Amino acid sequence: MWTELDVYHADLENISTESALKWERFRGKTVFVTGATGLIGQTVVGAIVYSCAKRNINVRVLALTRSYEKGKAKFENLLKSHHNLDFIIGDVRSLPKIDEKIDYIIHGASVTESDAFIKHPVETIKTSLEGTINVLELAKQKAVTSVVYLSSMEVYGSPHVKAILTEDDLGDVNPLSVRSCYPESKRMAENLCISYASEYDVNVKIARLAQTFGPGIDREDRRVFAQFARCAQKGDDIVLLTDGSSERMYVYTMDAVSAILMILLEGGSGEAYNVANKETYCSIKEMAEMVARVLCGPKRSSVVIKNNARENVKYPPNHYLFLDTTKIESLGWIPRVGLSEMYKRMTDTTF
């Protein structure tokens, strides 16, 4: 398991010493995490359990998982040495009754793979909206201290002009595109959050995450960043199904987790925060070329552009997504890991 590797423990140690995080606020509290077996969710769980144990802070973490076996496999090492992690077995679309007191909620359950947006758009929407309503209803019933919803930079859609995007900028999303099931449902979920904050005084905040990756991704992950890494490791050509001109930002998993926790503990109710590493901004083609150069396997990979119209329907239209991160930085957040190092750490622990 990747959680046994040095890079993971180094990440945990680094976040546990993050001075901008007020770990003491978790003392005697219970944290509920949805999407807990996903990449971000399991990293959130690990960070809270490890950092609080190091400080002798008695926190309890409830991790939502659809099967006990999957949860046990994902958190095997944490379960060996920590007894404050428990599983809630169920689906975010039909949450089971939870009798325990809950103080904080991190809502990360979501469909994330582009293939699913095309093949299962209705399920993608239902997971976002039904899941978010269920979580917000739970937050209202339990009178939780704080909720953070994990949204996406895709709420900004596909801007065709290069500009710095603040949290107040409006998105450019085509509602008649099937692939828009993901960004449109994220946008509606954000509005649900704001509506619950306004009508029911639920203290909910929003983290708009750039594409996030690092150690712990699934070996069979079909997202573009993982496909690039697999090809480079094998020495196969990196084939782009678009022209590769879209430009966007990224963020390392543990950097994203530190931002999520800062927003949870320090963010303003009803506020959204862009989370991205400005130093990672590049085009898809530039990223592919960097991966081919940095992660060369038995032979150097070449970047081949096929721009297949039938295949590229699962990717967003050409766009420029440069996120202004001033707001999250004002809470004390500093991203630590750049794009090439993100790839190195991911491949060292996955492929």
Residue 297: the pLDDT is 65
Q: Which residues contact 278 (CB under 8 A, 6 or more apart)?
A: 249, 322, 323, 325, 335
For residues 326 and 277, is the Cβ–Cβ distance under 8 A?
no
Three-class SS of 274-323: EECEEEEEEEHHHHHHHHHHHCCCCCCCCEEECCCCCCHHHCCCCCECEE
CA distance 281 to 214: 16
Residue with structure tokens 């430009």?
A: 247
Better-scored residue on pLDDT, 269 or 310? 269
Could you read off the pLDDT of 242-252 as tens digits, one per residue?
A: 889 999 999 99
Confidence of residue 219 (pLDDT cuts 50, 70, 90): confident
Residue 1 has pLDDT above 60, yes or no: no
Q: Is 96 helix (H, G, I), strand (E, B) or coil?
A: coil
Task: Name the 3-class secondary structure at 113.
Answer: coil
pLDDT: which is higher, 291 or 83 = 291
**Whether the predicted pLDDT of 320 surpasses 80:** yes
Instruction: Classify the C-alpha dihedral 175-180-185-191 as positive or negative.
Output: negative
The rounded distance, in Å, linking the Cα atoms of 277 and 263 is 16
> Quick check: 116 pLDDT over 80?
yes
CATH architecture of 2-216+249-281+318-337: 3-Layer(aba) Sandwich (3.40)
Task: Identify the sign of the CA torsion 307, 312, 318, 320.
Answer: negative
DSSP class of 91? B
- Distance, in Å, from the CA atom of 52 to the CA atom of 28, rounded to the nearest integer, reads 10
Q: Write the pLDDT tens digit of every residue in 274-317.
A: 999 999 999 999 999 999 998 876 677 788 888 766 666 677 88
